[in-house]
């Protein structure tokens, strides 16, 4: 109870959150009805029962299906506003949100529609809660680099609202090297760079993200721990890892929360953070992620505070804005 109050009171930044993964079953049903889209579920309970995954791909199949109810600017607004209200309730002060435009443009939804809905909700949260945000466009790595390039072209008119690019979806077989050219292009445009690496993929993918993509953060990074020289490098470079405990459990990256490597990461000097990834699918928002991993690993208040501080230092806020949070 003491730990719960401490976690609830900690000001936090969330750095690994796929907005489409915050689509709660209730909103999925409401949007399916609003847009007359058929969904293969009879009830909210049936949807939740379908969220049993044995690996990343199991989840991705149902995640891409779920986002099919999102059509209008209002839909993207309502999705984002619901997440931001929930994050605010967890004392999240700053959020860096991923979105997957290719999951929408391939269904005929305009890039501009997605951006307009998300940014309207971000602007409202700034006014209503003082909750600040950055937006990160993720490329789907199971698609080609040419597709990613075309998506970056579509983003060019909106770079005033897009702070960075990322790389997500099916990791194994789609190494960072596949996207070296489009990341170089984004880098030249002044965008921040992140990539999912070492969730299911090997430590070599984390090395590629560092050496070939020149990323500013590693999303997940769990499998880095198999390579001690890589761990030493990540620690000495102060590289932020956006770790997602409940995601790791639900996607069987860890077998049991008691086996989660978060404490090992902290003890190795890694700049680990705690994040929710796809909270609707994985069973909890950021506060629940702190709670679950803290209970399983018996994390101290000093460790919890370090995790929360890492979330601000690893953010893409300016140094002045970071200082206001630390």
Annotated binding site for Zn(2+): 16, 18, 196, 277
C-alpha closest to that of 248 among 204, 205, 209, 296: 296
Q: What residue numbers does the annotated binding site for substrate cover? A: 278
Six token digits for residue 110:
């305009």
Six token digits for residue 268:
């190795």
Q: Tell me how far, at minimum, the Cβ of 65 lies from ligand HPA, in Å.
A: 13
The item of ligand HPA, Zn ion, none sharing an interface with residue 303, based on CB under 5 to 8 Å by kind, is none
Q: Tell me how far, at minimum, the Cβ of 51 lies from ligand HPA, in Å.
A: 13
DSSP letter string over 153-171? HHHGGGTTT--EEEEES--
Q: Which chain residues interact with ligand HPA by CB under 6 A?
A: 18, 21, 56, 63, 168-169, 196, 199, 247, 277-278
Q: Tell me how far, at minimum, the Cβ of 218 lies from Zn ion, in Å.
A: 11
Measure the CA dihedral 255/235/214/64, to 10°: 20
DSSP letter string over 12-59? EEEEEEEGGGG--HHHHHHHHHHTT---S-SSHHHHHHT---SSHHHH
199 in catalytic set: yes
Q: Tell me how far, at minimum, the Cβ of 149 lies from ligand HPA, in Å.
A: 20
The item of ligand HPA, Zn ion, none sharing an interface with residue 179, based on CB under 5 to 8 Å by kind, is none
Residue placing its CB nearer to ligand HPA in the complex, 103 or 325: 103
Kind plus residue range of the DSSP H or E element containing 274: strand 271-274
Q: Which chain residues interact with Zn ion by CB under 5 A?
A: 277
Residue with tokens 């889209």: 37
Residue placing its CB nearer to ligand HPA in the complex, 22 or 113: 22
Residue placing its CB nearer to ligand HPA in the complex, 10 or 213: 213
DSSP letter string over 200-260? SS-HHHHHHHHHTS--SEEEE-GGGGG-HHHHHHHHHTT-EEEE-HHHHHHTTSSSSGGG-
Active-site residue, from 20, 73, 199, 208? 199
Residue placing its CB nearer to ligand HPA in the complex, 90 or 168: 168
- The residues annotated with a catalytic role in the active site are 199
């Amino acid at each position: 109870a003491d730990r719960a109050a401490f976690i609830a009171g900690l000001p936090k930044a969330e750095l690994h959150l796929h907005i489409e993964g915050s689509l709660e079953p209730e909103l999925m049903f409401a949007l399916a009805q609003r847009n007359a889209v058929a969904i293969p579920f009879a009830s909210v309970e049936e949807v939740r029962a379908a969220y049993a995954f044995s690996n990343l791909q199991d989840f991705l199949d149902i995640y891409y299906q779920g986002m099919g109810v999102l059509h209008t600017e209002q839909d993207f607004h309502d999705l984002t506003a619901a997440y931001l209200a929930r994050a605010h309730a967890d004392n999240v002060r700053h959020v860096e949100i991923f979105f997957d435009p290719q999951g929408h443009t391939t269904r005929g939804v305009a890039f501009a529609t997605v951006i307009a809905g998300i940014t309207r909700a971000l602007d409202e949260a700034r006014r209503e809660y003082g909750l600040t945000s950055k937006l990160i466009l993720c490329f789907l790595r199971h698609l080609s680099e040419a597709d990613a390039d075309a998506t970056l072209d579509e983003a060019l008119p909106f770079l005033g609202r897009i702070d960075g690019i990322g790389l997500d979806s099916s990791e194994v077989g789609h190494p960072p090297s596949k996207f070296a050219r489009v990341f170089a292009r984004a880098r030249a445009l002044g965008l921040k760079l992140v990539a999912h690496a070492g969730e299911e993929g090997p430590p070599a993918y984390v090395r590629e993200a560092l050496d070939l993509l020149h990323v500013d953060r590693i999303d997940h990074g769990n499998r880095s721990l198999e390579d001690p020289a890589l761990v030493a490098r990540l620690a000495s470079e102060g590289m932020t890892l956006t770790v997602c405990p409940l995601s790791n459990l639900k996607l069987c990256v860890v077998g049991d929360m008691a086996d989660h490597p978060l404490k090992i990461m902290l003890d190795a000097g890694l700049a680990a953070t705690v994040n929710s990834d796809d909270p609707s699918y994985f069973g909890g928002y950021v506060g629940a992620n702190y709670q679950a991993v803290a209970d399983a690993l018996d994390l101290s208040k000093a460790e919890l505070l370090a995790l929360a501080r890492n979330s601000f230092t690893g953010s893409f806020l300016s140094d002045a804005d970071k200082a206001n949070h630390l």
